[in-house]
Chains A and B, each alone.
Chain A
Amino acid sequence: MFHRESGYFKTSYKADMALYPLPIGKVAATGFVLLFLVVAPMVLDEYYLSIINIAAIAVVGALGLNILLGYTGQISIGHAAFMSVGAYTAANFAVHFDMPFWITLPAGGLMAAAIGTLVGLPSLRVKGLYLAIATLAAQFIIEWVLNHTPVISGGIQASIEMPRPVFFGTVLNTQSELYFFILPVTILAIIATLNLVRSRIGRAFVAIRDQDIAAEIIGINVYRYKLLAFAISSFYAGVTGVLYTYYFGIANYEAFQLPISIDYLAMCIIGGLGSVLGSIFGAVFITLLPIVIRVFMETVGVFFVDGVYLAQVIAQMRLILFGGLIIFFLVVEPDGLNKLWQNIRNYFRVWPFSY
């Protein structure tokens, strides 16, 4: 409806492999980047920017888990633990060695990648639920180690106060300043993932997911790529942990416990496994839904409940609605929000001349 898909002829391999084969893709992507980087910070209140900040950090983590879960088909319940590895690495580097964020970000990611590769080792032997338990063990082991190693975790409180990021002499304090720190990292992560999944590595991941024996037969080194998937996924998790640490101003393992790992699994599944857009949808959905439900209940609830009890009702209803909506969206479209979006897109693609 909005654009034509015909009439674009590709005359080179390069054109055929472009990230956005149609001009509208390029226009839309540029438009979104401009919207978020230029328009949003100008019109939105600090509060809304803070929500975008939290959602943007979650997007990075969800992307990382989706590479492992959605593209390579390996499950991990230790994603939050890898975040804590990144968090403490960055905090130690920033506090003890006075490192700027452009070193701590990759350093946290790399350390998490190293630990993630180690944790990924069982994936060479076990699959599915068994691997889930193996990675669950990693979650607890990492938590325990951080809890009991003051050298890493900074003393009895197991928390390290993190200085705010400094960008060319400016301390990034406010939500809008942090916005310009977090969002570029998220955009970078999205672009990197988009490119990763259509590369040789990404195709190898998909081959392993779909049938690992067949993948091995066509010459993919399954062991290597499985570990690589764990490493890349953990790298993203580590970077997420560093972002959280800068955002919270503190590295503390209590912010990265098992329920957070489950949250990230939920983001991937609700958003859509094996899709970049799905990770973004999932992360935004899980982050925003409780807020939206609360605001909705605050508006509607006053008509039904007495003021003092409203808080109790909101808190409980939020959980009920949250669970209900997740089931609703998964029943409507088991392949996740991404598939739902594709359905909408396909519907309007030929609208009003469907069939």
Chain B
Amino acid sequence: MNYLLHISVMLEIYILLALSANQKVGLSGLLSLAQAVFYGLGAYTASITITKFEFSYWLALPIAILICVIAGLLFSFVAGKVRELYFSLATLALQIIFFSVAYNWIPVTNGSYGISGISNPEIFGLKINTPASFALFGGVWVLLVILFYVWFLKTPISRLIQATRDDQIAVLSLGKNPNYYKRISIMLSAVIAGIAGTLYATYTTYIDPSSFTLDESILILSIVLIGGAGRIIGPITGAVIYILLPELLKFLQMPDSIAANMRMILFGLLLVLIVRFKPKGLFGKYLIQ
């Protein structure tokens, strides 16, 4: 039972990450390879404020969100300057620089030893420290973000964000600044990834740089592309496939040593096949060409 609950917490974290990446990829058409940077920033900010300054989760969370907003703002200048492949490459570079800093800035991040002893969140004096309570807590976050998107996708600003994705010049001709909408999109995406990071840090109570690598960013992007970008259902499907794939392999009685590689082989293959034959992803709306 605990294992099942653990799986659901991981699923909730990945749904949040996939929805945050969908904001960039699906709504803004920005293929970013740096989603793990914001995930990591959220996790590190929460961990440092909780362990070093003994803040509660509810004080650490707004600080993490603030840091992610600032980072998103800085990041959006990159998006304003370069497009398409060069945007992806610039984000790839940012991702690797972030990992280098997290790994080497020992006084703050404790390098490869990571940060341990991160305390669990509390609500009204109740400590969220069992898998069941955490699954519920994560579930509430996922629900909040989904509800937010149900509302947000109907707002004029979301339509302008999508218009910027489809035709920047048309947006300019309406007297709107496309970079402004990209900036909003990137900051929003950063905040959701940051929240996922705070959840991850307080759930596992230990983080180190190896959770926020380029591989993780590629994985998050793949989840969105496989599920399909642009709709809420797409990224959720992608995350479900990624998390449940190993369980399916276990069901087929595959030993653990093989299952880890097999999961990545199937996932990589799925990504290639989707890109090649079904570029919209399983349930996507926006076609990346």
Chain A partners chain B: no
